[in-house]
Amino acid sequence: MSPTMSVMRIASFGAQGRGRLSLQRTTSFLSSNRVEYRASTTTSERERAKSVAAFYNQPAVEAAAKKRTVRLTPSAILYHGRTDDEATTLKSAQYLQKELPVRIAKRIIAFRDLPFIVGCNPIILGVHELYLRAFNILNSFETIKTREDEVNYSRKLKELLEDHQNVVTNLAAGFRECRRHIQNEELVVRFLDKTLTSRLGIRMLAQHHLSLRESKPNYVGIINVAMKLKEVIERSCQFVSRVAEHKYGRVPQLKLSGHVNAVFPYIELPLDYILPEVLKNAVRATVESHSEFEMMRLPPIHITIASNEIDFIIRISDRGGGIPHHLMDRALEYNFTTANEENSDSTQLEGRVFSDMMEAVNPNPAGGPMHGFGFGLPTSRAYAEYMGGSLEIQAMQGIGTDVYLRLKHINSPSASFRI
């Protein structure tokens, strides 16, 4: 039996809980990646087995995954989204109807290619099934020809976005559970980088389409044509300060300087994830490296903005003691965290609480901060690189840490990123 088929059957047994397969695991499961099944003698169980196999092994998924994606530049979606007539919205929906199933199918194939023991994790299987369900819904949707078709499609798209709201949190929890069994870390890193950035792109395209009907000042879809970077940063600062106040009862001052009056068109959604993650780490390091007796002397966190015709840079500097030498190379690894691992249930619960707070206060494309999961910084780095930029860490051991977020303007003379 192939690993893919094994994953399919285990998924039907463990993740969904719909219908039971008579299934007996041998004691050599972990060592040999094999599962022995006790054959069912009833027609109903055989039919359920066939149904499960059909759900996971769909020729339509493989066919769609072989197609090429059509990625758009922010300038293109800005230009084509300036008009608010029905034709623009209809064309946007027709593009998504062709594009989204292709992107989702590629992610489904990637789930199948995960190491067997990772793909069998119930939480990861649950995410896998979410993607399969989304593919089936979008791929079978009737051809969009009229305004009514577009309205129905948009309604279904919004529902799917809500269903996938906690995917990053779930992936973080799933990979944390099975990380000790991961031998090929590079494969997992590639999977996570691609899955998370693909998810970001899908959500930006979907939310852009849903936003085209909104008459929001200075916005064309998801693009803020006159984004004030200072306001975006302050919004994240306010959120992180509230979280820190709730957790620690104190918070360092967050000071902004540099080109604080910079205004330019940009997409705020990725920034609404990256900035709180970086700021959260800076605040946590500052508070936890200074005792309660130093409450009145917490050193401030300095945020410096620089903007030029090519890109803009945000530097976040803290005095939280820096990252120890032996941990520097691991700071941007998935599932690496400096949170206390003696009580993993506690750290995972805290991660989910932070995620819920983030979604309630500051909705964004990827869920909330992952304290205890170790997904925040590597996900932020992947997003920054997806957006044509970079996220780099410079530590001064014994003093503090500087994080540099560099992103290209969407109207930059050099090549911009594609969504």
> How far is the first Cα of the chain from the last one, in angstroms, to the nearest whole number?
39
pLDDT (tens digit per residue) in 324-340:
888 888 888 887 655 54
3-state secondary structure 283-304: HHHHHHCCCHHHHHHCCCEEEE
Q: Where are the domains of the chain?
A: 58-211, 222-408
Write down the pLDDT at residue 73.
85
Question: 74 pLDDT exceeds 90?
Answer: no
Class of domain 58-211: mainly alpha
pLDDT (tens digit per residue) in 130-177:
999 999 999 999 999 999 999 999 999 999 999 999 998 899 889 888
pLDDT (tens digit per residue) in 75-127:
888 777 666 677 888 999 999 999 999 999 999 999 999 888 888 899 999 99
pLDDT (tens digit per residue) in 351-392:
443 444 444 444 443 334 434 457 889 999 999 999 999 999
Question: 314 pLDDT exceeds 90?
Answer: yes
Write down the pLDDT at residue 24.
30
Pick the CATH number of 222-408 from 1.10.1740.10, 3.30.565.10, 3.40.50.9100, 3.40.50.720: 3.30.565.10
Question: 316 pLDDT exceeds 80?
Answer: yes
Question: 7 pLDDT exceeds 50?
Answer: no
pLDDT (tens digit per residue) in 383-415:
999 999 999 999 999 999 999 999 999 887 776
Report the C-alpha gap between 219 and 12 in whole angstroms. Answer: 44
Report the C-alpha gap between 219 and 234 in whole angstroms. Answer: 19
CB atoms within 10 A of CB 114: 22
Mean residue pLDDT across the chain: 79
Write down the pLDDT at residue 328.
86
Lowest mean pLDDT among 62-76, 125-139, 304-318: 62-76
Q: Give mean pLDDT, residues 183-196.
A: 88
3-state secondary structure 64-84: HHCCCCCCCCHHHHHHHCCCC
Residue of 261 and 83 predicted with greater confidence: 261
Report the C-alpha gap between 151 and 146 in whole angstroms. Answer: 9
Question: 70 pLDDT exceeds 80?
Answer: yes
Give the model's confidence band at 346: pLDDT under 50 very low, under 70 low, under 90 confident, else very high: very low
Report the C-alpha gap between 216 and 297 in whole angstroms. Answer: 42
Write down the pLDDT at residue 107.
96
